[in-house]
Each structure stands twice: as structure tokens, then as C-alpha cells.
Amino acid sequence: MFELLRALDACHSMGIMHRDVKPHNVMINHSQRKLRLIDWGLAEFYHPGQEYNVRVASRYFKGPELLVDYQMYDYSLDLWSLGCVFASMIFRKEPFFHGHDNYDQLVRIAKVLGTEELFQYLTKYEIVLDPRFNEILGRHTKKRWERFVHAENQHLVSPESLDLLDKLLRYDHAERLTAREAMEHVYFRAIVQDHGGRIPVGAQQNNDGTKKPGSTTPSTNPT
């Protein structure tokens, strides 16, 4: 996960959204201990305030913004997809949100994150929900992540992993961690310490595309 975040941090700092983060687009060379994020066919340069096509990303990894046709999304879309991958890993449930179509996909998300929170998100961004959701969405309270822990996956779960997951899988894209912020999360403390307490170079950037103070443009290849 840390290496995947490094790849996203690098591409985001170069102004690129991957828009199709999923397990099938991650290649790992175990002998060389290298990870590569592949298939950049849906990648796009990000420009603040621009509208983008919502017909991107694979269904199980689509962010809520895509499912409600919100076109002014940003790099945080990739962090939602990464959060879905992370949830699948620690809970041993692949995929974590298993919708039968794009409408059902949002329903599956709402059953975990809650419908009240969904409507708050829609109101904040003045998004009108497709009428087809009226009959299928229902009402659901937000679930605690601990509910998904059981005997077969409890060895993969920790309070730190659940906290990281909670900060990635947010309806509101503005509330999700950036790739750099996720790398700085306590869940990865041991890895950062192995790097001498420093995170490998990559421009620190907000999800809206603005660089954070002290940021520099990296020469790292996102793959």
C-alpha cells in the first residue's frame, strides 16, 4: 500500500489523475520488491475547476462523485479507489463494495457510510440525485468499521488500519487524505522509520491541485 501511495503521490504531483486504480492495475515484482501502477489509458491532467468525464474507473472502485455524476472531481478520486483496495485487503472481501451496476454500487456504499451522510454530501455540492435512486437507496445508518472484522481477518486489522481506511473512504472528496498525507499516517510509521524517518521525495499537494508550502516537483516516474 505504501508503494502504491508513492506512485499516486508522484503522479498527482505531476498533475495527473490515474482514474483507474484497482488490483488488476498493480504489478508487483516480488524478487526485486518493486511495485508498478500500470494502465494509464484513463489518466488525465488535472486543472482546478474543470469538469471531467464520470465514465471512468472500474465499478467496484468508483468514487461516490462518479456515481452521482459530479464532474468537478480531482486527485482524491484515486484515494477513494485505493481505499477500496485497502478495505478488500484487510477485511479479505474482494471487492469490498460489490454492486451489480453503478446504481447498486452507490447503494452498497450507502449501506456502509450511511444515507444521512450521503445527503449531506449531495447538499454541500448541490448535487441532484438521479430519481432512480428513490426506490433502491433506502435509509441506512453509518456502520463502524469494526463490524467487518472477524476471525479470518482480525490478524490483518489494527486500530491504525481502520483509522486510515476511515480517512480514505469519505463521501466528501475534500475530506479524504492526499496520497502524501496517507503516507504520513501512523499506520506506515515502521516503513517511514526504515527510510530514516523521511518519506521519499514527491511534491506535497492538496487534492484540489494546489501545492503545499515547501513542495518541489519530483523527478520520480509514477510507475
**Residues noted as catalytic:** 20
Of 176, 210, 212, nearest in space to 5 by CA: 176
Structure-block grid coordinates of residue 211: 501545492
Report the distance separating Cα 62 and Cα 19, nearest Å: 9
Identity of residue 86 = F
Neighbours of 93 (CB within 10 A): 14
Identity of residue 107 = V
List residues bridging with 67 in a β-sheet. none
CA terminus-to-terminus distance, the chain: 14
Neighbours of 161 (CB within 10 A): 20
Phi, psi of 36 (to 5 degrees): -130, 135
